[in-house]
Homo-oligomer: A and B are copies of this chain.
Amino acid sequence: MKKVSVVCHSGFGHTTNQAKAIVHGIDNIENVTGNLIGIDQEGEIAETDWLALDESDAIIFGSPTYMGMASWQFKKFADATSKRWATQTWKNKVAAGFTNSASMNGDKHSTLHYFMALAMQHSMLWVGTGLMPSYTKSAWRYDINFLGSFGGLIQSWIILGQIMGSDSLLIRVFDYQRV
């Protein structure tokens, strides 16, 4: 049984909703189990959560994009991973990420590229969405990957539909795990 942890901070619930959809997708994959770890409003997770991350085969980072970057609570978590960095504890784990913000763009790309930089410092392996964008003239808000993101899952609050593409992301994660 492979383990995937989704670790995220959520300010108003949007990110938790994304995370739940992703964990739901994980649990639908055979021989894989998902685990949702919430970073609290002080940027903390429990010691048992750290151990769960250490034992995971893949870690998926999630945060809202506030002022052009992941929230400070997520960054506090990221800074606290420096112990794992020093020992390269997460080396060779698979990493992926997701974010959301109010507007279509709103610098969500900055957050995703930061997640990549963080994963690279941990010598993790980065996987993106593996989804083609929706880009015809008939494209609309409820299309899969309407926002056209490759590096990670993104969602805009003004799109009122469901989380999109999460299953696809997870399937790619596990293709590489060659479960």
Contact = CB atoms under 8 A, between A and B. Distances in A.
Given A88-B132, A135-B102, A135-B157, A72 B76 contact: yes
| This chain: copies in complex | 4
A93 B82 CA distance: 30
Interface in A106-139: 106-110, 113-114, 116-121, 123, 125-137, 139
Given A72-B78, A79-B66, A102-B135, A117 B125 contact: no
* 5 closest A-B pairs by CB: A103-B148, A109-B109, A103-B133, A102-B135, A68-B117
27 contacts: A43-B72, A67-B78, A67-B85, A68-B78, A69-B69, A69-B114, A71-B75, A71-B79, A72-B73, A72-B76, A72-B79, A92-B130, A92-B176, A102-B135, A103-B135, A103-B145, A104-B133, A105-B108, A105-B149, A116-B116, A120-B126, A120-B150, A121-B150, A125-B176, A137-B160, A176-B176, A178-B178
